[in-house]
A = this chain, B = another copy of it.
Amino acid sequence: MRADAQRNRERLIEVAREVFREQGYDASLDEVAKRAGVGAGTLYRHFPSREVLLDAIMQSWVDRVNESADKVLTHEGSPRDLLLAWFESYVALISLHKGGPAKITKAMGDASSPIVTKCQTLTAATDRIVERLDAEHALREHVEAVQMARLVGGVAAVADNADLDQAAVRPLLEVIADGLLVPSDARSGADAVRS
């Protein structure tokens, strides 16, 4: 790739990240081009669609997802706390921009989406959490990472839509956690085994 093309590409990503943060995923792409000081054609040559641009923006995001999962897994606490910690991370990660949760839950099931690899990262991270909890026999039977992702994605979508703050989201996540974990009295046995 020619040096000027490389520069423009990077600048566009940088500016787009800024604009999307300010105005949400629906922001005008021409605005992005203008603010980056390039023509609309240049933007669309590098990023044929809004989705492809989003994909590029999210490169660094993949690292954050994995870091968050790592961090959550080092937590020493009850399975419920661990699960809730991951849920809160999850919501935060997909709610970086307005409209983010909808975008991501939509792409989740769509193999042809340009950001499908990003979603896989997220699912893989969720899977690590599921495996850990499964090893502790803390989860009910037949709990899959995809379902967990859908449930928490749903909460994030509602929170994003209705402008809920973290305090309002927490109880919703607790309900989901309680629905996924084996009831507490049954679990106390498993806890005892583990410690």
Contact = CB atoms under 8 A, between A and B. Distances in A.
Interface stretch (A3-11, A34-42, A178-186): A178-186
B172 A175 contact: no
Q: Is the interface of A mostly helix, strand, loop or mixed?
A: helix
A102 B26 CA distance: 15
Contacts of A179: 174-180
A93 to B, nearest CB: 16
Interface residues of A, number: 33
A176 B151 contact: yes
B105 A164 contact: no
A171 interface: yes
A90 to B, nearest CB: 13
Interface in A26-57: none
* Chain copies in the assembled complex: 2
B175 A147 contact: yes
A96 to B, nearest CB: 18
B142 A150 contact: no
Interface in A141-182: 142, 147, 150-151, 153-158, 161-164, 171-172, 174-180
Nearest to A150: B158
Interface stretch (A14-22, A67-75, A106-114, A122-130): A106-114
A150 B177 CA distance: 15
Given A102-B102, A110-B162, A147-B172, 20 more contacts: A102-B157, A105-B161, A105-B162, A106-B162, A140-B178, A147-B171, A147-B175, A151-B154, A151-B158, A153-B154, A154-B156, A154-B157, A154-B172, A157-B158, A174-B179, A175-B180, A178-B178, A178-B179, A183-B184, A185-B185
